[in-house]
Homo-oligomer: A and B are copies of this chain.
């Protein structure tokens, strides 16, 4: 068994956009009714970032994705040994076996942006489901995970302008309306269509492609894609 750094964990808030709602991936543990963020531990010999992206890939099947650390939660009382005991016993582990899991953990939180349709969520051995949940209708989460999700959303809002969230939450081609909807669900407010369009086009980051004929009785919108970035960093 891999040897992990004790007392250190990570949690990932993985955002997806299904066309109308912002969602995140949650695990449900066997026979416990407990929901949690996908997370994991850090092998002794592995970089933190690397562990996290490896872990997220294992859960989602996605390799290249936007993944950024945003905060480390380090209160003593964030641990809840009783939750962990329920999960372990419900899965047939004796509490002795997993005693190191009952201890205090500091958790480094990351958020990821991902194209909803690309994901093939894969539950691990302890959890019997991993599914999308709309950010507005989350079930009760274990430990301090609700707090972590809120902090992730705040960070995402703050980074919206600089990080061009749409780039990661949408498919390669998209309409202006879809992009606007992404902005709206993240910001939690309606935006003015003309102003939004002018602003985004003014950034000179989009490339206009062919039109998309939807079969609906109105003018067909253009599709856009993000221009390759001149150079990052």
Interface residues of A (CB under 8 A from B): 5-8, 42, 44-49, 69, 71-77, 104, 106, 108
Contact = CB atoms under 8 A, between A and B. Distances in A.
Contact of A108 (B6, B42, B44, B74): B74
A159 to B, nearest CB: 10
A47 B106 CA distance: 10
Nearest to A77: B47
A104 B8 CA distance: 12
B48 A106 contact: yes
A72 B72 contact: yes
Contact of A69 (B8, B48, B71, B77): B71
A27 B133 CA distance: 48
A106 B104 CA distance: 16
Most chain B beta carbons < 10 A, residue from A45, A69, A76 = A76
A48 B71 CA distance: 12
